[in-house]
């Protein structure tokens, strides 16, 4: 696990809930792979999580990866909140069920296979890879309409 896969993710939703999309840009050894998709009735947070899940599912073997997201929900959830949620039986500090628990559980399962570093970038701030992931997420929404 010496070389690192760079992963850039984004989610989009037209209405919240509404039709949504997710986008991923993956880079490794000079190669780039783009992934995207959509769901007819979802939320922005679900699409942000789905983007990261789809990226990690696309990895063929355990790797070092840096995931860059513009979602504080994803970054704070996976780097901080998730341990308490698990300890509390997937309940929040207020004892309410964790929203999007199915996706959080899947993401938790996937990160166990890799060494993941988490990075946050402000959305729509000119970060090239984040902008590309955003375009892919929006393509996922648009293709649902066709």
> Which residue among the candidates 37, 48, 129, 140 is catalytic per the annotation?
48
CA distance 52 to 142: 20
- Distance of alpha carbon 36 from alpha carbon 32, whole angstroms: 14
**One of 10, 21, 39, 77 is an active-site residue; which one?**
10
Query: In the annotation, is 48 catalytic?
Result: yes
Residues in the chain, total: 146
Q: Would the CA dihedral through 23, 128, 122, 112 be positive or negative?
A: positive
CA-based end-to-end distance of the chain: 41
Instruction: Judge whether 11 counts as a catalytic residue.
Output: yes
* Catalytic option among 20, 38, 70, 140: 70
Question: Choosing from 57, 83, 124, 143, which is the catalytic residue?
Answer: 124
Do 123 and 19 contact (CB within 8 A), yes or no? no
Catalytic residue among 21, 39, 134, 140: 134
In angstroms, the CA 5 to CA 114 distance is 10
Residues taking part in catalysis:
10-11, 48, 70, 124, 134
């Amino acid at each position: 696990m010496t070389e690192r896969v760079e992963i850039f993710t984004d989610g989009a939703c037209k209405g919240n809930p509404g039709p949504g999309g997710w986008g991923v840009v993956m880079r490794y050894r000079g190669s780039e792979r783009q992934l995207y998709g959509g769901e007819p009735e979802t939320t922005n947070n679900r699409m942000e999580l789905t983007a990261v899940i789809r990226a990690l599912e696309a990895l063929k073997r355990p790797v070092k990866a840096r995931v860059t997201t513009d979602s504080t929900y994803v970054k704070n959830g996976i780097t901080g909140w998730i341990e308490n949620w698990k300890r509390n039986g997937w309940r929040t500090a207020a004892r309410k069920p964790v929203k999007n628990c199915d996706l959080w559980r899947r993401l938790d399962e996937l990160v166990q296979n890799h060494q993941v570093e988490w990075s946050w970038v402000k959305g729509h701030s000119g970060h090239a890879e984040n902008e590309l992931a955003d375009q892919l997420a929006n393509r996922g929404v648009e293709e649902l309409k066709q």
